[in-house]
Structures are given as C-alpha cells and as structure tokens.
Amino acid sequence: MVQREDARIRLGLPDVGQAELDEIAGVFETGMLTMGPKVADFEGEIARACEVERALAVSSGTAALHVAVLALDLQPGDEVLLPAYTFPATGNVVALAGLRPRLIDVDPETMNLDASRIEVGPRTKAVLAVHLFGRPARLEELPEGLPVLEDAAGALGAERQGRRCGGLGLLGCLSFHPRKIVTTGEGGAVTTNDAAVADAVAAARNHGWRSLVPPDMPAPGLNYRLSDILAAVGLPQIRRLPELLAARTRIADGYTERLRHLPVHLPGADAGDVHGWQAYVIQVDDRDRVLRELRAQGIEAQIGTYALHLLGAYRDQGAFPGASRVFERALALPFHTRLADGDLDRVAGALDKLVSHH
C-alpha cells in the first residue's frame, strides 16, 4: 500500500485481526460470556508473561489498581506514595479507597519516581510505583519494608535487571486499553505471587464473594470482572507478546536513530533493562507549538501524561519541579506496530524543522 504524503499518521493502532475474530467466535460457540475458559486461559498467559503465580483479569487497568490498593487492607488516612507525574488513575484509586495519595517528584531523565525524594512518615504504608510509558522503574531504590505495588499498565513484557515488570512487587497492575501493547478494548489484570492477596483480589472483583456455596462474603466487593469476549481478544496478542515487543522495539529504535542529532530528550531504559515501549515519549522545548504543528501536518502526536499536583483533585501538596517540567515538555509520537519507515521519516523530518537548532 502506498502511503500518501498527506495521509494521517495515527497515534496508536491496535494489532488485531482474524485471529482475534476467530477466538471471539469460539466464545459464542461455548455460550460462556463471562468468567469462562477464555478468561482462565488469558490469566494463565498473563501469569506466564509476568513470571508470577497468579493473574486475575479485571475490567480495566484502573479496576486493577483499585482492587490492588484495596487488597493492602490499610486504614483510612494511611498514606500511599506515588509519582507526581502519571496517569491520574494511579492517584484516584488511592483517594477513593479512603487513603492519602502522597505525591513524590519524578526524575525528568527517567520520568519515573525519584526515590531520593521519598520521606517515610508514620502513616506511610505503601508505594505505588509506575513504570511510565513502559520504562522499568528503579524499585530497588525504594525504602525497605514498604509493600510495593507496580502500576505496570504500560509495562507488559518489560524487564528490570532480568525480571519481568508486574512480578517485582507485592502486586502488579496491567491495562489492556487500546494504547497498550496488548489490548482487549478495555481490560486489565492484577498479578501477584502472594496467594492470600490473590484470593482477596479475586473476591474484590466479584462482589466480595469468597464462596458462593455456601454464600461467604466477609467484606463488600465490586463487579470488575472481564468478559470472555474481551479475554478472547487479548489471547492471540499475548501469545505473540515477544513478536509485538520486538515490533515496538524496532519502531522505537527507528525513531531514536532518526532523532539522535536533534536537540530533544529521547526515551530509553537503564542498561540491563528491557523497555516495554507502551509509548515513545520525547521531551522538547516549546512543546505546545511543536504538538500543534505536527497535528496540522496530519501527524497525531499527544502530550505525555499528567502532573497530578496541577489538577484540582491533588492541589496543595507543594512544588514538584520535575513533574512540572516533564508535563510541559513531554511529547508522545505516533507509536504502533504498523508504522512504516516512511512514516518514521515523515515524523522525524517534521520534527527536524520544528525544533530549534542552536
């Protein structure tokens, strides 16, 4: 297919097709539309991909974060530390669980939580660390003795020093939103090696049921179950995770090669890590102008994510210069497995003209 010069370059594009349609047809044949065999198969593949004992599929990444926080069984007013620069769901679930989201500034270089900024107080009970855009966070730098939750929404397949993200803390949370590496449209999962925590999550996603016969509901829960129809969409993708990861790494490398000489900050991972490449997010001066001009040329770029202290829900926690800086400068480039070399050339060419050369 010949790409027209003025064709739009999409920000994201899910890698789904006939294999996913065939799996959905299989669900219709069994008639089991929820909590059936496809969910169980999908959970098995997720557990394998994250190198953990248990994976529990839920209806979104936000639902995964919510039940993971609930599973910690903390007291109202206890503090959970989380990065000031992240998708707001990371903080929202903490607040909605009756806990205090305590923002920690990020390192503009990694865009992840800066552990040197952490102050542990008497009510600090957990850390919710984010592997932002798929870049593994340095979890070994976190204070010892605090349970670690991983927001691995964009880090399926990523590795920190040889170990898979999602299996590094007490709990991991994944998202299968269309802008993530594996998508079910909407969906998510919680991963863990702790059997008691897994049982708590399994109950929390299903109204609080520990058992149906006899009925046993020791605490109230939610309906955060994932439909088998959606699990079916995720199955063929997670089975080819190495291939999807390789394709995304190739696109990321293609951008890095083309943008290396420009006065922009490029993303990468620490030596020895595997980047999950949920997104390719650069940092540029005068970002809003660059974003506007790219869009005017049919190149669907986007901001990175949000600085929570600049949102009404998280005001009055002080200054977070790292998060503010990244929030103003981060620019997500079109990023999906169907991008051709010509698309990368066009994005790089446009950026070359837009960023200032000193």
Ligand X SMILES: *Cc1c(COP(=O)(O)O)cnc(C)c1O
Chain residues that interact with ligand X, rule: CB under 6 A: 60-62, 86-87, 89-90, 130, 151, 153-154, 175, 177, 188
> Which tokens hold the place of 221?
């829960």
Residue 136 or 154: the one with the smaller Cβ distance to ligand X is 154
Half-sphere exposure of 59 (CA within 13 A, CB side): 11
Kindly tell me which of 90 and 192 has the beta carbon lying closer to ligand X.
Answer: 90
Question: Would you say how long the chain is, in residues?
Answer: 358
Rounded Cα gap, residues 184 and 175, in angstroms = 9
C-beta of 226 vs 354, nearer to ligand X: 226
Taking CB atoms, the residue at the shortest distance from ligand X is 61
Contact at 8 Å (CB) between 221 and 206?
A: yes
Write phi, then psi, for 39 (nearest 5 degrees): -65, -45
Minimum CB separation of residue 135 from ligand X in Å reads: 11
Q: Return d(Cα 184, Cα 139) in angstroms, integer.
A: 28
- Quick one: 172 or 221, whose CB is closer to ligand X? 172
Closest approach, Cβ 6 to ligand X, in A, equals 31
| Residue whose CB is less far from ligand X, 90 or 283 | 90
Name the burial class of residue 322, with classes exposed (0-12), middle (13-18) and buried (19+) by CB atoms within 10 angstroms of its CB: buried
Which 3 state secondary structure label does DSSP give 110? coil
Q: Tokens representing 184?
A: 């079910």
**Minimum distance, C-beta of residue 62 to ligand X, in the bound complex (Å):** 3
CB of residue 255 vs ligand X: minimum separation in angstroms? 19
Q: At what angle do helices 341-354 and 287-296 cross, to 10 degrees?
A: 130
**Rounded to the nearest whole angstrom, what is the least distance from the CB of residue 175 to ligand X in the complex?**
3
Nearer to ligand X, 78 or 151 (CB): 151
Give me the least distance between CB of 128 and ligand X, in Å please.
Answer: 10
Q: Which residue has the tokens 């952490």?
A: 118
d(CA 306, CA 326): 9
